[in-house]
Structure 1
Amino acid sequence: MDWFTAPEYWQSRLVFQRGLAGVYLVAFLTAALQFRPLLGEHGMLPIPGFVRRSPFWRTPSLFHLRYSDRLFALCAWAGCAVSAALLAGVDAYVPLGAAMALWLLPWALYLSIVNVGQTWYGFGWESLLLETGFLAVFLGNDEVAPPVLVLFLLRWLLFRVEFGAGLIKMRGDACWRKLTCLYHHHETQPMPGPLSWYFHRLPKPLHRVEAAANHVTQLVVPFLLFAPQPVATAAASLMIATQLWLVLSGNFAWLNWITVVLAVPALALPGGHPTAAAAPLWFEVVVLATAALLLFLSYRPVVNMLSRRQVMNRSFDPLHLVNTYGAFGSVSRIRYEVVVEGTLDEAPREDSEWREYEFRGKPGDPRRRPGQFAPCHLRLDWMMWFAALSPAYAGAWFAALVERLLENDRDTLRLLRGSPFPPGRPPRHVRARLFRYRFTTRRERRETGAWWQRTYVREYLPPTRLAGPAPRP
């Protein structure tokens, strides 16, 4: 079938595959380095307890068969190894079927992690990586040119990511319609970056231009992805530029980078492969069947996207094959932060010395400049942002975090910048207080050197201590 492949997108496929492998590598490395205190046998939300409560058909994962921290580590590091191999281009040197198996392996491994990751893996970019990774299985390697249907499905995914995000904004917070959301967003976003203070201090008319440009990019430009070239390339390029602007303005894990990678297959990049053979019949049948399945599964995401009650970041099947996406349907006007502190005093007094725990990414010390952590995903820091919005977000894990701090748990402390207490002297009490944070003005910044100004709001958790030997989950 001459229509089945598009040799002119050979170079686009190559860039896409290497970019996706890089995102996979970051995701698996993040999982390997963070899982023990979050999900391990003695973690805040242990996987063994979760798999006992959740049936396999709802959360398919190899960890339903058996779980141990060693097995999880093996899974995560194996994912790193396969991703690194794909990043190096190993799939180009093996037969087509073997290349598809190589791309299927990281998808299956990461699906096993996401489906037991609970709160820590409840972010939209987890499903986005899985949906993108599944499509990559059917893109082929150097034996065949890129299949047209898979290229279309990748554009269809990018369309849903952008258009869904645009709709949720217009239907959600009125400030998006008034073009005023960016008066607040750079200050109140989950994890500001090194340049977020400067973005926040841009003139308000420029913020309105940013918001208007965002609406154009998310509500108009996505339709141009399906136009002939070079219009599709121009549309994808504009989306890439928008995502890079977001990379500069904050830390959104690998969300921006996976979106950039998704836009690449729509680019008409120079370079082809004239020696490519015709696609084998079995490959054509597999691609056709997969495309039909994914288009069928698109029904519920489309209904959701068109609904006035649209929801963000929802998976409609346990394999995360076709999902719905969106971000910042509402924007906070005020930033709150939970500040966690400990003391060595046996009985807390008014004059007790409380030492503050510093997290890696979330704001703490007002004089500490926000750092650059994306594309790495600091899961605990992100959930602390949600916990400040409402204690309901912290109900499942915050008590366990406090318990681990009272134990000076080594794995938990590795998620932080460090502990204010030496290894042999854990705190006797830990408390949490809620503060309001705002970026300093230019004058305050010059006079104090601080990036943030914070004001005490209320007690979040009263002083807490271990009642006895800490029980393990």
Structure 2
Amino acid sequence: MDWAHLDWLGTGDYDVAREVLQRGVAAIFLVAFLSAADQFPALLGEHGLLPVPRFLQYAYARRQPTIFRWHYSDRMLRLVAWAGVVVSAALVAGLPQLAPPWLTTVLFLVLWGAYLSIVNVGQTFYGFGWESLLCEAGFTVAWLGSAGTGTPLTTLFLIRWLVFRLEFGAGMIKLRGGREWRDLTALYYHHETQPMPGPLSRRAHLLPRWMHRGEVLGNHFAQLVCPFFLFAPQPIASIAAAVMIVTQLWLIVTGNFAWLNWITVVLLFSGIDDGVVHAVIPGWAWPVSVPADAGGVPLWYGVPVLAASALLVYLSWRPARNLLARRQLMNASFNRWHLVNAYGAFGTVTKRRDEIVIEGTDDPTGSSGWREYEFHGKPGDPARVPRWFAPYHLRLDWLMWFLALGAEGGGWFDLLLVRLLQADRPTLRLLRVDPFGGRAPRLVRARVFRYRFATRAEHRVTGLVWIREERGLLVPPVGTRDVEERA
């Protein structure tokens, strides 16, 4: 027996899976860090809508693991974000994977720590389940080794366990949630009322209702049945993973859920072995990588892998119990490090779509001249076809969707109106259309409209994608002083 290697720990049957997992998760990190560099200062920076320096005055914030607990500046945030982009790009290219495995592990842990630091001061703008998902995925994928070693089996198992919690947790949330998931009517509404529709969302919404019922059944099968088969022998595990990948691709095509579906597709490759890949795509291989050993993992690397695996198993008790709990938590972290979390989404489906439309005017009386600010992702102009943005995350657009559902603005919405009245350039860069071309309006207001997709007949006559009707006034015409008093 070769005590310098742990032959039982590694396998050479998942080289393709390892490449997809490492490069895919790194690609999502790259997008996430680009998003932070682009949006974080305007949303959460020194002069943002929810400034991090103010947040760090609270004892709760100072207890979070983040490098910003000692000091925050927009310059430091950008430095961290762009460093994350560079490291992520190197991993996407596969260059560190050609070195000894410790380098890949260290770089992924750097990405995890850097993004964890951002998430833990991101407040409501980073309060999404896929933030914790990316943190957990980054930490777990860090222990996959490199091209010169076998792929650690414990790490593959833990990635499958992550996918199981993600998918089965979402399925159980739906069964325990709104009746529409149990009577198979949820997709009558979902494509129309989802947070960020895409260019094909209207077409999906207009499908026959029997197809929508089939979508729900397919979703239940993919989320409640297939996850168990990820732990079955091959090729059963690969077939289960492929079924779940197909459902995720449908969600990618018909919506904009940031990187949630994209990273799920990547993580599902943990269930697909090389034999299946080569049977589907004969002779396919990565151009940069070198073949892994037959399966050995060096002892000096295997011991840390086993220690990290033991930690993740230890942290799994509460998330596992949560899956069976009657009051199941959704998108919850049980520790400050965002490891081994509880996931789930859309336990209930909104039946109606309300949107908040912000307008401004140069008329000091507010009697005329109102012009509409346009956001990138959320519906505004009824004639505009929604676009794809995922995996890029439009954080302000998502928060506007929650606000229209009745969520508390937490002060950020009033400050957003102040920034529009000031014609604040960083804030205006978050929008698609500034109707005043960089000038400050005299007044702004916020109206609520109910949106629905135009039928085929309505679209032929009017050319509109959406039909909307006004529901009321959320914020009456206000100037800078009025809104500052509200804030």
Specify if TM > 0.5.
yes
Instruction: State the match for 2:405 in structure 1.
Output: 389
CA contact (8 A) 1:251 1:372 kept: yes
C-alpha displacement at 1:299, in angstroms?
A: 1.1
* Counterparts of residues 439-450 of structure 1 (less than 5 Å): 439-450=453-464
Match of 1:23 among 24, 28, 31: 28
C-alpha displacement at 1:136, in angstroms?
A: 1.2
> Relative to structure 1, is the Cα distance of residues 28 and 82 closer, same or farther in structure 2, using a 3 angstrom cutoff?
same
Matched position secondary structure for 2:151: coil
Counterpart-to-counterpart distance in 2, 1:324 and 1:50: 25
Match of 1:297 among 295, 303, 315: 315
> Relative to structure 1, is the Cα distance of residues 258 and 310 closer, same or farther in structure 2, using a 3 angstrom cutoff?
same
CA contact (8 A) 1:191 1:250 kept: yes
In the alignment, residue 420 of structure 2 is paired with which amino acid? L
CA contact (8 A) 1:114 1:126 kept: yes
Instruction: State the match for 1:365 in structure 2.
Output: 381
In the alignment, residue 78 of structure 1 is paired with which amino acid? A
Match of 1:347 among 362, 365, 384: 365
* Counterparts of residues 225-264 of structure 1 (less than 5 Å): 225-264=230-269
Counterpart-to-counterpart distance in 2, 1:49 and 1:397: 13
Match of 1:179 among 176, 184, 203: 184
- The farther-off stretch of 228-237 and 307-316 is 307-316
C-alpha displacement at 1:57, in angstroms?
A: 6.5
* Counterparts of residues 93-242 of structure 1 (less than 5 Å): 93-242=98-247
In the alignment, residue 364 of structure 1 is paired with which amino acid? G
CA contact (8 A) 1:143 1:277 kept: no
Does residue 268 of the first structure (1) align with residue 273 of the second (2)?
A: yes
Instruction: State the match for 1:435 in structure 2.
Output: 449
Counterpart-to-counterpart distance in 1, 2:99 and 2:178: 50
Counterpart-to-counterpart distance in 2, 1:104 and 1:293: 15
Tell me how many residue pairs correspond in the alignment: 468
Counterpart-to-counterpart distance in 1, 2:321 and 2:71: 37
Counterpart-to-counterpart distance in 2, 1:130 and 1:54: 23
Counterpart-to-counterpart distance in 1, 2:303 and 2:72: 36
Counterpart-to-counterpart distance in 2, 1:394 and 1:11: 45
Match of 1:310 among 328, 332, 353: 328
In the alignment, residue 155 of structure 1 is paired with which amino acid? R
> Relative to structure 1, is the Cα distance of residues 183 and 453 closer, same or farther in structure 2, using a 3 angstrom cutoff?
same
Residues 366-398 of structure 1: CA distance to partner in whole angstroms, max 9, x if unpaired? 0011111111100000010000000x3323310
Residues 17-40 of structure 1: CA distance to partner in whole angstroms, max 9, x if unpaired? 111111111111111111111011
- The two structures have a TM-score, normalised by structure 1, of 0.96
* Counterparts of residues 52-67 of structure 1 (less than 5 Å): 52-55=57-60, 58-67=63-72
In the alignment, residue 311 of structure 2 is paired with which amino acid? L
Matched position secondary structure for 1:3: coil
* Counterparts of residues 395-434 of structure 1 (less than 5 Å): 395-423=410-438, 425-434=439-448
Counterpart-to-counterpart distance in 2, 1:248 and 1:91: 32
Consecutive unaligned residues in structure 1, runs of 5 or more: none
Consecutive unaligned residues in structure 2, runs of 5 or more: 1-5, 279-284
C-alpha displacement at 1:65, in angstroms?
A: 1.6
CA contact (8 A) 1:232 1:267 kept: yes
Instruction: State the match for 2:471 in structure 1.
Output: 457
Counterpart-to-counterpart distance in 1, 2:451 and 2:422: 29
Residues 435-462 of structure 1: CA distance to partner in whole angstroms, max 9, x if unpaired? 1000011100000000000011011111
Instruction: State the match for 2:303 in structure 1.
Output: 285
- The two structures have a TM-score, normalised by structure 2, of 0.93
> Relative to structure 1, is the Cα distance of residues 49 and 186 closer, same or farther in structure 2, using a 3 angstrom cutoff?
same
CA contact (8 A) 1:57 1:318 kept: no
Counterpart-to-counterpart distance in 1, 2:418 and 2:62: 33
Counterpart-to-counterpart distance in 2, 1:140 and 1:256: 25
Counterpart-to-counterpart distance in 2, 1:200 and 1:98: 47
C-alpha displacement at 1:96, in angstroms?
A: 2.1
C-alpha displacement at 1:55, in angstroms?
A: 4.1
C-alpha displacement at 1:259, in angstroms?
A: 0.1
CA contact (8 A) 1:383 1:393 kept: no
